[in-house]
Amino acid sequence: MGSLKNDTNAISELRNTSMENVGEGFFSMLDTALDLLPYIGQLNQTRKINRATIHIEQYSKELQKIQQLMGITRLSSEYYKEKIGPIFIEDFINEHENAKIVYLLNGYQNVFIEELQHESLVYLYFDILRGLRYGDIRRLFFHADLDDIYPPTGELDDIQRMAFTQGLDLKLENLGLINVPITMGNDGTKSRNPETKQLLTEVGDNFIKFINKTN
């Protein structure tokens, strides 16, 4: 099938941008990851690579921080370049919600800052992040007292807001991030209160630490 490097023009631009805006350390990790990632079809691939090139320019400071952490980490280069690195690069290339990129960058930074050596646990956090939309993360942060109520009041009518909020909470619950108690109404029907903050699970609490910026 080949690798992502098959699209020479787009990949050359991506590699040049990474070297110019970040540096040799990140360039080396990117180059290794591109060898390991599969070819996904030229038209779709080119669009994603071009978007990733723009993201490298936009988030050069954050990527430079990752590069600095690579230089001082006690983690093995095989671990972060050949195991975790390709997952990060693949998600960085494929992510179409710009607002989520910062959480992806925070997560990869925290691999180094917290020296997260449990490979399966890091995979789990990246899998969870990949499955969430920006709105899901806003809702999770609301439950963690890190954000205002989401969705904000006034944007939807009561019925729409109730349905939307229940959908968000159900998704978070199915991913094992929150516990949502179900209350019984006077008529015997089950209900969930969208205004109520739910308890985070241990996985939810640790996931938030993973995608949050560490000072």
Residue-wise pLDDT for 157-180, tens only, equals: 888 888 888 899 999 999 999 998
Top pLDDT among 39 and 147 is at 147
The pair of structure tokens assigned to 104 is: 């992806």
Other C-beta atoms closer than 10 Å to the C-beta of 148 total 9
The per-residue pLDDT for 33 is 84
Instruction: Report strand pairing: 190-191 vs 183-184.
Output: antiparallel
The residues near 2 (Cβ < 8 Å, ≥ 6 apart) are 38, 39
Query: What integer pLDDT is reported at residue 184 of this predicted model?
Result: 65
pLDDT, one tens digit per residue, over 123-155 is 999 999 999 999 999 999 999 999 888 887 777
Of 38-42, 49-53, 151-155, 158-162, minimum mean pLDDT range: 38-42
Q: Name the helix (H) or strand (E) containing 50.
A: helix 42-58
* Cβ(81)–Cβ(75) below 8 Å: no
State pTM to two decimals. Answer: 0.84
pLDDT tens string 172-203: 999 999 998 777 666 666 666 667 788 999 99
